[in-house]
Amino acid sequence: MKRTFLLLLLFSPFWSYSQQLISMADAISKGRTSLAPSSLRQLQWIPDSDKFSHVTADKIAIFSARDMKSDTLNLLPAINDKLAAQGAGKLDRIPAFNWTAPDKFWFQHESVIYAWDIRESSLKRLNWFPQNTSGTDIHDKSFFTAYLKDNGLWVSIGGKELGIAQSEEDGIVYGQSVHRDEFGISKGTFWSPSGRYLAFYRMDERMVTKYPVYILDSMPARVNEIRYPFAGAKSHHVTVGIYDTQSGQKWYLNTLPEGGDPEQYLTNVAWTPDDRYVMIAVVNRAQNLMKLNLYDATSGAFVRTLFEESSDKWVEPEKPAVFIPGNNSQFIWQSERDGFNHLYLCDLSGKIIRQLSRGSGPVTAFYGFDTRGDKCFFQMADSTGLNRIVCSSEIRNGRMSVLDAEPGTHNGLISSNGEWALDVYSDLDTPREVFLSRWNDSRKKTSVFSAPNPLTAYKTGLTSFVSIPSPGGFSLNARIILPPDMNPANKYPAIIYVYNGPHVQMVTNSWLGGGELWMHHMAQNGYVVFALDGRGSANRGFAFESAVHRRLADAEMEDQLAGVNYLKSLGYVDAERIGVYGWSYGGFMTTSLLTRPEAKGVFRCGVAGGPVLDWRMYEIMYTERYMDTPDENPEGYRKNSLFNYIENLNAPLLMIHGSSDNVVLWQHSLRYIRECVRKNKQIGYFVYPEHLHNVMGKDRIHLFEQIEQFFRTNL
């Protein structure tokens, strides 16, 4: 009904717009600032209370959930006075902080961790550490701090530096993220619940190929060598160490059984609440078997495998175990064993007690528990993949409840006792709203905040969703943005924005449908802008995502071409003027769509940024999950190597790359350009010196203005 109403408005002569246009520079530089929906800054619940807070200007606003009575704390002047008395610099605004009690919070300033007591108006230094460090990991109760400095791993306790480990030689690193940030890994240190012990990664990558990245501002240019594990080649070896802050001793977990393969993945590190054990999901290099292993934290000994998960495609654990409050043996594990990522209650004997979430949509975020551990709270995608709902489940019986089923994207913040919920909501037409309700009575909700439409002054066209059948039997979500003042009797060029790779979803029922302002700028200039999440993309279940196994681009191209056929069926789209643009996996897809025979003659032109052009040149962890090794799947690697289709390049293609890209190496596009020259194929090419895998900062405006100019010329 809503979509029909919008379409009527679109073609109605009474539909009117303001006249201001979004420039490309504003779309890029302001899209996440002044032209993004406003929000309640640092919105959070205060523990052990029914109150929540957010920062407004330079003050902290506190609200009672029961009656919405509020109080405003003007703490910044007093905090700055106390900082000055301790010889510290001034704060310009309320810093990022975390409540520890109804009248206390902590924050970090100039490498010092402070606690502020509201009642006593006192400032206490909890810990401090050197500046110019990285990988900072602060224990949330003891405030012991782990960090990286001078190629080593350190801990600060009360300002005293303790050296844990120093790199013995080039290629050995401590306390850093490992396995190329796959499997949900984003850091390399893990505090035990009490703060006494620190688990940490040790990575030996001496056997991994060195790869040169050039630093230009020197004569001659210097080389920064990185270690890059290519698919099918040698991978690094990882172990997990334990450091005891009381004794100063360290030791290692026995994660490699005798005769085992050191080229394995150690992921999802978790401690038991009593500090006795460490749990690690150990994945074999083939990524088709996961063992959830238990290790004795004080000796490093292997205790037992709790359970295994296997697949003929891949297993990919991404979330560590989370223990039930007050329980040393029961924990929640996330698994795709029923086809969707769901929550399971397990215990240290390896027993799976019960499933806590169900449905034909995956759990997309886990929020935590109420204080007593009776319920857990989480976010799920619905069966369409477009919407997000906030749910709870009772630990004792797995009974689920939903906070609010209104279509859109719901993000939950739950009070510590589980009684109250803040629902941060948006949909296609709603920038952001925050609602307050009791968990068990969300029908009686109070609007806490409503963001104004930041685009009110701008001329924007209609954004809508469409559902397109896939050749693989699924229903595909797509987003279409139309030019303002569109005349359906005219013919408009179309730009398809593509990614269609694992772990990414572009089309969601959120503000602007998940689109970005550069798309609206292009629509204002007369383009229909289209995006489709085909098979392989995220949040539709394992069958949908694993349809790409061993043959990347095949299913994705089929689905993108189904989207093209839909566009061609629209009377106002010019079928002869369809272009495509994508970055990274999207760059791979763009080049595939312009050169592989399945899409011959479909696209007028395309832009491929940071593209993977031959998967044998991409990293082990990602590539082998989806493609297996080159020796195991030679036909798959041959078919999706885009060097094999250069002769088919007959449409304008602009290829863009950052010269310091350490994700998709510059070598991909350099080799591709060389082969284009050898085969006398003309291609546009642009390099952004010393940019990494994407072009960020002010240079991003240059990037998108260049892309716009390319489409103006060729569409």
Catalytic residue numbers, as ranges: 584, 661, 693
The CA distance from 305 to 324, in Å, is 20
**Maximum C-alpha span of the chain:** 79
Residue 710 three-state SS: helix
Residues 6+ apart with CB under 8 A from 4: none
Phi, psi angles (nearest 5°) of residue 5: -60, -45
DSSP state of 547: G
The CA distance from 193 to 198, in Å, is 10
* 500 close to 532: Cβ distance less than 8 angstroms: yes
Residue 706, burial from CB neighbour count under 10 angstroms (0-12, 13-18, 19+): middle
Helix (H), strand (E) counts: the chain: 11, 43
Q: How far is CA 448 from CA 22, 181, 439, in A?
A: 30, 37, 16
Q: How far is CA 612 from CA 60, 111, 588, 615, in A?
A: 47, 39, 5, 7
* 481 close to 529: Cβ distance less than 8 angstroms: yes
∠177-181-186 over CA atoms, to 5°?
A: 55
Q: What is the b/e burial string over 280-311, where b = at least 16 CB atoms within 10 angstroms of the residue's CB?
A: bbbbbbbbbbbbbbbbebeebebbeebbebeb
Q: Sign of torsion, CA 617 623 627 630?
A: positive
| Closest to 264 in 3D by CA, of 618, 624, 631 | 624
